[in-house]
A and B are shown apart, each in its own frame.
Chain A
Amino acid sequence: MRVMASYETRTRRFSRAEYERLIELGVFQPGEPIELIGGELMVAEPQGVAHYTAIVKTAKALEAAFGPGWHARTQGPIGLDDDSEPEPDVAVVPGSPEDYSRAHPSRPVLTVEVAESSLAIDRQRKGSLYARAGLADYWILNLVDRVLEVYQEPVPDPAAPFGWRYARREVFDASARVTSLAAPESSIPVSRLLP
């Protein structure tokens, strides 16, 4: 059993295999908003109207930008590492949904979190987790400031929660356009993502 010493309270950690078995056994309620993040079972941010609208708009805009051969998963599980199975708000993966009928995808080419109250967690904790997994392109659609934060270039950083962070951070406002690393030909107006 792994424990993290940095907290006052150490809690039992779960591996991804254990987490998937707990779901199979029905220990959690169906549709319960939980994610496994570095062995911890996190309760996801409650979903407001703006949050949900942003997810739908972002998924639609990204599918249009990426075109055939890709699809955008919304709040679907990602088999990120041995002790993490997050459910990012939007994740662009190659292929079609049927390609993942046996196992969750593990390496989205673009991962997006829509953030209101979860902004600090999405920036630090999830940012560090995604950087550690080598996800090249991570966006936070920041509904508080109505901007898109783009994170790229994962680098090790012992001070980060999971030992990695993104070296590059760019912020785009509603009037800007943004391009994903994996779809360099198509630029997307940020306004098309915001609710």
Chain B
Amino acid sequence: MTQAERPALRRFTRHEYARLIDHGFLDEDDPIELLDGLLLVKEPQRSPHRTAVLLVAKAVERAFGEGWLVQTQSPIILGDLSEPEPDICVVRGSPRDYVDAHPTRPALIVEVAQSGLRLARGRKAAAYARARIADYWIVNLVDRVLEVHREPARPGPARRHWGYAAIETLFADATVTALATPSAAIRVADLLP
């Protein structure tokens, strides 16, 4: 079936998503995240994926240091239709700053992707770009590279979707520096399982 023949799916707002959780349709352990109103099933957590998540969390924690909080697989709020749970995201402050509401403006989002690579590059990149996330990295386990996505933009009237204008692929021997911490370089090799 071609894309054009796909039916339009009912989109959920964050409020409706919260009601689904309240009524027990979803629970906190379900591998589901709300992205652009769609209840997306997350990539299964195989051990390389899990290992990469831990490695990235450790490396970015070291690079960002004091005053930053590194969340793993926790919800963030990006508008009325999106409450994704990125593998890693870095926000300002400490855990108690987010007692009443999920963080909304991460300085860095990292997704680890194997079977979910198309999703990470496609729908997720579009949603993050639309939310003006300035720094979005994909740890690509298929090719063992880091894809650094920057400069969120909406290219030309011909393409309605948001995306990243600058995408760089870094191999294991390279280093990467988050936009928010220009002085702390991270070795890509330290992020790969």
Interface residues of A, Cβ cutoff 8 Å to B: 1, 3, 7-12, 14, 18, 21-22, 25, 27-28, 32, 34, 37, 40-43, 120-121, 124-125, 161
Residues of chain A within 8 A of B41, CB atoms compared: 1, 3, 10-12
Please report the total number of B residues contacting A with Cβ < 8 Å.
24
Complex: A123 Cα to B37 Cα, angstroms: 27
A2 to chain B, nearest CB (A): 10
Q: Which of B45-53, B57-65, B118-126, B167-175 contacts A (4 or more CB under 8 A)?
A: B118-126
* Top 10 A-B pairs, shortest CB-CB distance: A41-B10, A12-B39, A10-B41, A42-B7, A43-B8, A120-B5, A8-B118, A34-B10, A3-B41, A121-B7
5 extra interchain contacts, Cβ-Cβ under 8 A, other than A1-B41, A125-B1? A3-B41, A22-B25, A28-B10, A120-B5, A125-B5
Q: Judging by beta carbons under 8 Å apart, are B10 and A9 in contact?
A: no
B179 contacts chain A at the CB level, 8 A cutoff: no
B186 within 8 A of A: no
> Is B9 in contact with A124, judged by CB distance below 8 angstroms?
no
Q: Which of B8-26 contact A (CB under 8 A)?
A: 8-10, 16, 19-20, 23, 25-26
With contact pairs A9-B119, A18-B25, A124-B1 given, residues A37 and B38 touching in the complex (Cβ less than 8 Å): no
Chain B residues whose CB sits within 8 angstroms of the CB of A18 once the complex forms: 25
Is the pair B19, A9 in contact by a Cβ cutoff of 8 Å? no
A residues in contact with B38, CB < 8 Å: 9, 11
A133–B39 Cα gap in the complex (Å)?
A: 26
Residues from chain A with a CB closer than 8 A to the CB of B20 are 22, 27
* A-B contact list, 22 entries, CB within 8 Å: A1-B30, A1-B41, A3-B41, A8-B119, A9-B38, A9-B119, A10-B41, A11-B9, A11-B39, A11-B41, A12-B32, A12-B41, A25-B19, A25-B23, A27-B16, A27-B20, A28-B10, A40-B9, A124-B1, A124-B5, A125-B1, A125-B5
Enumerate chain A residues within 8 angstroms of B19, measured Cβ to Cβ: 25, 27
Residue of B whose beta carbon sits closest to that of A125: B7
